[in-house]
Amino acid sequence: MPKKIDVAAWRRDGERLWNTIQERELVVLPWNNPWFRFAVPGVPLFLAAIVTWFIWWNPFVSGVLALLAAPCLYTAIKYYSIGKRTGGLYSFFSETGFGMGCDADRLSIPYSSLDLPKQVTPSTVNHNYIVLPVRPGIDGIMLERKTGVDSPWDGAPYRRGIAAILRTRDGALHARAYPNEMIVHLFRAVFPLALYLKERARAAEAGATELSKPAE
């Protein structure tokens, strides 16, 4: 049975995030690159395999240690190279929009595109993606570059390292990442923010309607 969402808690989290955005102008949720976590067991195992081979000439033990080290070293090298290539991946929330980015550029989706769906499915995180709570279409979405030469997004997949923002055939935007830690953090931030901004806009609209009523 799916876990029920605590709407009140989401509203508080969204308000807290929005206030932080107003204070700092930019809130960044960096991807914690796991290359070192894999290097910690991989490097000692690999060194032990070398020592076992050259000192005791034991190919069986050396081979077992090398086999144990190989997946860890491969994964560590893969993620380290991703980090060097992208310069660090992150999700962000600025005064005008949110999205994903790296050192070279970032894809920014305006808050005006936010549209909280009637049904939220957190379980998609387990499949390494989330459906962003935005209206179909790419209007207002910008590719912001470090060089300052920004341009409207053309809808082509935005892929940077382990992360991507893709546009599906029905116009929905998917944020993907493997491992999924990055989109877990994004989900926990953008949906509460969307809920808060929706209720904030509704309250402002109700207040404007009340003020527009003629005095009796």
pTM reported for the whole predicted model: 0.84
Asked whether the predicted pLDDT for residue 211 surpasses 60, the reply is no
- Residue 44 has a pLDDT of 94
Residues in the chain, total? 216
pLDDT digits (tens, 9 = 90+) for 152-173: 999 999 999 999 999 998 889 9
Same domain, 74 and 145: no
Residue 214 lies in a domain: no
* Count of structural domains within the chain: 2
Distance CA(171)–CA(137), nearest Å, equals 6
Same domain, 60 and 76: yes
pLDDT digits (tens, 9 = 90+) for 127-145: 899 999 999 888 999 999 9
Residue 132 lies in a domain: yes
Same domain, 69 and 161: no
Mean pLDDT for all residues in the chain: 89
Same domain, 104 and 20: yes
Residue 175 lies in a domain: yes
- Residue 216 has a pLDDT of 54
Same domain, 110 and 184: yes
Q: Per-residue pLDDT averaged across 187-191, rounded?
A: 94
Same domain, 52 and 13: no
Residue 134 lies in a domain: yes
Query: Which of 85, 120, 147 finishes a domain?
Result: 85
Range of the domain at 152: 7-31+93-206
Helix segments in 4-58, DSSP class H: 7-24, 35-56
Residue 211 lies in a domain: no
Q: Which has the closest alpha carbon to 108: 91, 85, 89, 84?
A: 91
Residue 2 lies in a domain: no
Helix segments in the chain, DSSP class H: 7-24, 35-56, 59-86, 181-212
Residue 1 lies in a domain: no
Q: Per-residue pLDDT averaged across 185-203, rounded?
A: 92
3-class DSSP state of 72: helix
Same domain, 97 and 66: no
Distance CA(110)–CA(134), nearest Å, equals 9
Residue 21 lies in a domain: yes
Asked if residue 210 lies in contact with residue 174, where contact means CB atoms within 8 angstroms, the answer is: no
Same domain, 42 and 26: no
Asked whether the predicted pLDDT for residue 214 surpasses 70, the reply is no
pLDDT digits (tens, 9 = 90+) for 91-137: 999 999 999 999 999 999 999 999 988 888 888 888 899 999 999 88
